[in-house]
Amino acid sequence: MKKKLLIIVTAAALTFALLPQAAFGASSVSFSDRPVIKAETTGQRTIKVSWTKVKEAKGYELYRALPGKAFQKIKTVKSASLLTYADKDRKSNTSYYYRLKAYKVTKGKKVYGRYSWSVRGDAGLPQEVNGPWLEASGEKGIGFYWSYDGKADGCYIYRSESEDGDFSLIDNVTEKEESYWNYADDGVKGGETYFYKVQPYADCKGTLVKGRMSKALSASAIYDQPVAAKSSLINGKASNELIFKVTMETFSYDTVFAVSTDLTVEKEQRQVTLQQSWKNGDAEELRETFLHISGLSKDGITYTEDGSVTASGGETIYIKASCSDPVSVGTGETSRIIIHCLYDGNAAMLDNL
């Protein structure tokens, strides 16, 4: 609903700004008519104001106001043929309003015509950036998007490793999809947190104009699922009971491992799957063994036999698992261990260990 309302308001503002400009093509207007005025951004702190010629006029008086403030006269143009004024040294990325009236001299006294309608002129690009908002993050990339209602030919992307640190320019986006801009940063390191800002820019009459910097977006380059850095099998000989030593990646989330003697608990949540493959001549053989989890430990000495153990990033957990038949891991084999766990409250698994 908010997006729809924003579109309606923006359209109304554009219509208002364009109404007087539609008649700007007229070469002149009579003294009794309103002059037609327009304002254009020509620089970071400069606005060009122009108007139609008024018949019988001796000159013009130009007025300026900040939004919500009273108009103040800023210039008396004493030539009827001079129809432009460059308003310089304005505050960067700020909107102003202008209006104008013509005057003529009758019997030594100034006689004024009607005021023009007021128009808005922008020094720079005053509109605020909406966002940015995080779209996706992973070990190898961070994606985010934002919107901007003002004029923009592109947006600069800045990145920092701390919120209060120096933001460095890393890229430039020149195309947007529908009403949104987006960017994917693939130059990140897993486990690191980054901060991003975006800044719109536009080419205004050959001059590069930059808008306001957006607020900072914080995002981390981390896996979407818990990940183990390495795993090993403690028991190398054939045995009915094996112990797996699993070390979590330093940047993985807290992961809950559970051991249960309750047979109503889903089978996959109570077992370790050991997949072994090896070459037998030209053929590849695959063996899959299911082991029942019987204990969990942080130190490899004291085991929890009914309950759960949480492993944070960088921590090691020992998983004791048993099988009715002796199991061994031989040389020349490729072993793949699948361990089910709870991640962010949902069932997940550590795969390809």
CATH code for the domain in which residue 59 is found: 2.60.40.10
Examine residue 17 and state whether it is found in any structural domain, yes or no: no
Q: Are 261 and 339 in the same domain? A: yes
Q: Are 115 and 146 in the same domain? A: no
Residue 4: what pLDDT? 33
How confident is the model over 117-135, as pLDDT tens digits?
A: 999 999 999 999 999 998 8
Q: Are 234 and 335 in the same domain? A: yes
Examine residue 10 and state whether it is found in any structural domain, yes or no: no
Decide: 264 and 313 in contact? Cβ < 8 Å: no
Residue 1: what pLDDT? 35
What's the whole-number average pLDDT of the chain? 83
What residue type is assigned to position 250 of the chain? Answer: T
Q: Are 260 and 295 in the same domain? A: yes
How confident is the model over 143-166, as pLDDT tens digits?
A: 999 999 998 999 999 999 999 999
Per-residue DSSP letter, 102: E
In angstroms, the Cα distances linking 218 to 134, 168, 185 are 8, 15, 13
Q: Are 258 and 295 in the same domain? A: yes
How confident is the model over 207-257, as pLDDT tens digits?
A: 999 999 999 999 888 766 677 766 777 655 677 888 888 888 776 778 888
Per-residue DSSP letter, 211: B
Supply the range of the domain harboring residue 29: 23-123
- How is 119-178 classified by DSSP, letter by letter? EEEEESB-PPEEEEEEEEEETTEEEEEEEE-S--SEEEEEEESSTTS--EEEEEE---BT
pLDDT bucket at 13, cuts 50 / 70 / 90 = very low
Please count the structural domains in the chain: 3
In angstroms, the Cα distances linking 181 to 18, 67, 155, 176, 204 are 26, 28, 8, 4, 20
Q: From CA 47, how far away is CA 62, in angstroms rounded? A: 13
Residue 28: what pLDDT? 85
- The token duo for 171 is 């890229």
| Residue that terminates a domain, selected from 220, 250, 279 | 220
Q: Which helix (H) or strand (E) holds 13?
A: helix 2-22
Sign, CA dihedral 236-351-261-288, equals: negative
Examine residue 81 and state whether it is found in any structural domain, yes or no: yes
Examine residue 246 and state whether it is found in any structural domain, yes or no: yes
The answer, yes or no, to whether residue 14 has pLDDT greater than 60, is no
Name, in order, each residue with C-beta under 8 angstroms of 1's C-beta and a sequence gap of 6 or more. Answer: none
pTM: 0.58
| Residue that terminates a domain, selected from 196, 220, 244 | 220
Per-residue DSSP letter, 4: H
Q: Are 232 and 344 in the same domain? A: yes
| Residue that terminates a domain, selected from 123, 138, 165 | 123
The answer, yes or no, to whether residue 21 has pLDDT greater than 70, is no
Q: Are 94 and 73 in the same domain? A: yes
Name, in order, each residue with C-beta under 8 angstroms of 70's C-beta and a sequence gap of 6 or more. Answer: none
Q: Are 194 and 235 in the same domain? A: no
Q: From CA 276, how far away is CA 269, in angstroms rounded? A: 20
Q: Are 239 and 211 in the same domain? A: no
Per-residue DSSP letter, 68: T
Decide: 24 and 52 in contact? Cβ < 8 Å: yes
The answer, yes or no, to whether residue 11 has pLDDT greater than 50, is no
Q: Are 205 and 241 in the same domain? A: no
